[in-house]
Structure formats: C-alpha cells, structure tokens
Chain A
C-alpha cells in the first residue's frame, strides 16, 4: 500500500520502541528466580486473593 501523502510524525514525548536485545545477548527480562525475595512479594499478593472470586465473576457473553 503506497500513499502519496506521508502522515505527519507524532509530536510530543513519544519515545521510539526501546532498543531490542538480540536473541543471543542475554539481555531483556530476567529469568524468574523462584528462590528470590521477589517471589515472596508475589506470593504475598497471591495469598490475598479471594479463593471464591472466580465463582462470583458472573459475566455475560460478549463479542
């Protein structure tokens, strides 16, 4: 699809997509360490979840 009129660039504080790590360089998100303190924080968040909330989630079908 070719367009004779190129759209204007968006103004304002729009950062380009972050520079991507290559598959080999080992950067990017860390592999989760299941023994780290981070896991304890997430476990704490999960333990607060109401076990019955899925039963209370009564949704209608949409599109």
Chain B
C-alpha cells in the first residue's frame, strides 16, 4: 500500500497431547528452533546478547529476513518488513508453515500441536499478535492526535476478532485517573462474567488506553518509541491489542484498514467527533456483547454502534484514499462488504472473519451433539480452530472445504518462506543472511564466542548489521532495499 511498511509478530502456543508429558512446551519450542536453524539452515542464530532475555542462540534472522526466537517460552515469528498486504499475508503464513514443517520433520506432529491463538482458557495466560506500521515522524503522536486511532481500534474487532469461549478473570493494572494512579480494582471495573462466547481473544487483557510496556498494563496503543529506523523520519506504531488471525482475509483487512486510518490521521482527514468515553471498557463491552449490537458511548454523549463508527472511517477513507493504488481499493471494497454483512446474519462472514467462523463451527457442534457452552469440549474446539496442522485444524478444514477465501497461493507462501519482499530493506538483510549461510565465519559454525573475546562474527539487528572486520552497515530507511550496497559491502576487503 502507498507509503506504508507493515510487520506482524506472532507468538505461538504449543499443545502437548499427553497427560503427563516428559517435556515442557518450552523444550519442544527449543527443538523446533534448533531444527530450523541447525538442520534446515533457514537462517543464522544471534551470536550476541539482544537483551536480558535474549542470550546468544535464543533466535535469529531467517533467509526471508524475518526472525524466529523464543520469547518467554513461546516460539515467536516476526515477519520481514512488507510494503504490500499480499506480502505481509504471505510472510505471516510463511511463519506458520516454517514452524509446522519443522515440527513434522522432528516427528512430533502427533504428540504436539502448534496453536496460533492468544489465550489459555485454563491458566488465563495471554500471548500476543503484534502489528507494526511505519508512519512519518510528523504523525501526531499525542492523546488528541491518537484519539481517532483509539476509536477505530476499539471498534475494528467486529471484523478482526478471532473469538473465544468464555472470558478472562479480571486483570490487574494501574490506571491513571487525572493526577492519580490507582489500582484498576478501585474503579470497580470489569466484574467476573459468565460468558459463553465473545468476539475477541485479547480484549479482556487490555487494561489501558496508552502505555509503553508490552507484558503488563497492555494498552490499546503502545507508546514505546522504538522506530527501528531513522528516528528523524519515522515512527513505528506498535499495536498489541489485536488477535492472531487464521483467515488470510481478516489478516489483510486488519492491516489494510488500520493502515488507511493511520493515513487519514497523518493527512488530517480522520473524523474528530467519535472519541469514545471509556475506550478500555468499550473494548471489552463490544467483545462481550451477546446481542452483537455493539453500542458505544461517545464523549459527546452520543451513542453509536461499532458498525456505524467503522462506516464513518470507511467513508472518510473512501473520500480521501480511493484510487491511490489497487490494494487500497481492495481494502475499501472489502471493508464495505464486511460492514454490510455484519448488519445482517453473522454466518455470511464465515471464512472471512475468524470469530464468525469459530462461532458457526461451535454452534453446529452444539446443535448436533447437544452439548452446552460449559462443556470442556467447547474450549478444546476453540483451540482446534487455531491448530496449524492442516489435517486437524478447524480453520484448515474450512479452507479445504472452500469456505475461506485465499489471498495467497501455496506457491507464494513457499516463496515467502525462503525469500524476502523485494521492495523493502528486508531484501538487503536477506542477502546478508544468505551470505552468512553460504560462507559462515569459522566461529559461527558451532556458536562459539569470538576468539578474541571482543566481537562476535556478526551482529544483526533490524536497522543495522556488522560483520566482524567490516564497518557497521546501517539500514535506516525501510523503504530502501540496500541490495547493491550490501553486496558491495560484503565483497569489500576485511580490515
């Protein structure tokens, strides 16, 4: 899409199909990572400390310029920087397939399932799907400037949510009220509910409108300023409120509509009269509304439905963005289509919107088997919707039956497993990874530290890399490929 770089980071769950497993999910996660890097040689492991919880060997960059690593015991895949929705959907699916293929090669596929969801019904654990959007440094990153984005994000779950059985227990958090920071419980917010089904996985875990941390006090807008690019030109909008989507259509629509709303804000065209009175509460109320009326109280005291709010954003985007490129027009048409169908029967959205697909499957099962929502089978079916195993997963069943539209092809996904998008800096990084795979520095072969103890054979980050003996190579502009410059740099004489 026009002037946008997208990225997705996905944490995966590991389900072990045994009563008393010999190994933990983290043990299997390490095995899968090692299969990818040591056996399949899909990329190169980090040889340096990236952070206190990312020691050398914890993960690394792939030949497709994305990353696979362990984060708090979860396998996590970060897509390369993508300039089109087609690329980001294909790259996201490539991450799924890389992990699933490694699991199958290890012979664990009957014992373990990779689950692309965001919750554990039993422990209330949550883990994320993070979205990244590159915007101009001139983006109005203030409460006032971000107000339209908050309204959009709170209401977009009606077509981006993946749905879940039940609800999470009340979350601890500290909330800023005027000049005081108080425990959330003191506000009397979020009573324990007894829900059968809600449309979002993450809504229950979002407890603030703005905050900079990613593990506690999760916010609608994460305020950490870490552009991973030239900070004078760019800002990275990092969102962690969204659900992992199985449907390619939902993934594309989530990123595409959010990208257009960011453009409206950048260009001063976003609607300014839709500020939500209590956005965190509204996020949860919309998700949990069993009648799916999705009514929201605005600061203006007006009440609007989430569908009508989204229609206002769509109207603005159509007026200001239509015709700017083919993907924008696809997003506008599909945005209109889902809003139209949301006003009718949710079953029209099966295959396109994950919560609708899941709800339809669960209702079919309930009707046929005469089971109640509290039956443990409902939570197990909820998980199975997200199973990456094509022979088992319920979303994959919908795909196989032709009920879920494809935006990619198997060939494109396989291409995205091995190659980077050719119109972003990911392409240059991919060249570096291939160079290191084909001609590894001696001490990188067995992950030994540098012989001189000073600098490892290579250090790779999103916006810079350095190969020992050569100068650092900055890549501050994600819109440049740096391909020829990287090749020249790698051929230069080691000093």
Q: Footprint of B on A, CB under 8 Å?
A: 1-3, 5, 7-23, 28-32, 34, 38-39, 41-43, 45-63
Contacts and interface: CB of A to CB of B under 8 A. Distances in A.
B71 A62 contact: yes
A4 to B, nearest CB: 10
A15 B406 CA distance: 12
A10 B481 CA distance: 11
A5 B336 CA distance: 32
B404 A7 contact: no
Interface stretch (B120-128, B147-155, B448-456): B120-128
Contacts of B214: 63
A28 B352 contact: yes
Interface in B329-387: 329-330, 333-334, 336-337, 340-341, 345, 347-352, 360-361, 364-365, 367-369, 375-377, 379-384
Contact of A56 (B15, B352, B412, B419): B15
Contacts of A20: 329-330, 333-334, 337
16 contacts: A1-B136, A1-B266, A13-B411, A14-B412, A17-B86, A18-B405, A21-B333, A23-B333, A29-B351, A42-B398, A43-B364, A46-B361, A48-B392, A56-B16, A57-B121, A60-B26
B277 to A, nearest CB: 28
A54 B403 contact: no
Nearest to A14: B86
Interface string B306-348: 0000000000000000000011011001101100110001011
A62 B215 contact: yes
A43 B87 CA distance: 33
If over half of B's interface residues share one DSSP class (helix, strand or loop), that class is named, otherwise mixed; here it is: mixed
Interface residues of B, number: 94
A16 B256 CA distance: 14
B240 A32 contact: no
Contacts of A2: 3
Contact of A42 (B122, B394, B409): B394
Centre residue among A1, A22, A59, A60 by max chain B CB count within 10 A: A59
Interface stretch (B268-276, B286-294, B421-429, B436-444): B421-429
Contact of B377 (A9, A12, A51): A51
B156 interface: no
A34 B364 contact: yes
B86 A1 contact: no
